[in-house]
Amino acid sequence: EVGLFALLVIVTRYVSVGSIAAAAICPFLSLYFYWGDWVGVVCCTLAALTVIWAHRSNISRLLSGTESRVGSKKEKAS
C-alpha cells in the first residue's frame, strides 16, 4: 500500500490520487492477508470506503482539473 501510494504521488504529483488508490486496494489486500477472518476483511473494507468518501471533494477537483499538485505554488488570495 505504501509503495503504491508513493509511486502514484511521484508519477502524478497528486497526494490525493495516492491516498485514494491505496484505500481502494486495501480491501483486496485484506482478502489476501486476512483470508477466513471476515470481520477483519469487513473492517478494512469499511475503513477504505470511509477514506474514499472523505476524499470526495478531492475527487471532484481531480475530475475538474483544479486539484493542487505537490510542489505547485499556491495562488495568493486578493
Per-residue pLDDT of 19-28, as tens digits, reads: 999 999 999 9
CA 26 vs. chain centroid, Å, equals 10
At residue 4, φ and ψ (nearest 5 deg) are: -65, -45
What confidence score (pLDDT) does residue 75 get?
60
Q: State the helix-helix crossing angle for 38-54 and 15-33, rounded to 10 degrees.
A: 170
Weakly modelled stretches of the chain, pLDDT under 50? none
The whole-model pTM stands at 0.79
Are 8 and 18 spatial neighbours (Cβ–Cβ below 8 Å)? yes
C-alpha separations of 41 from 17, 33, 65 in Å: 23, 9, 34
* Cell numbers at 7, concatenated: 509511486
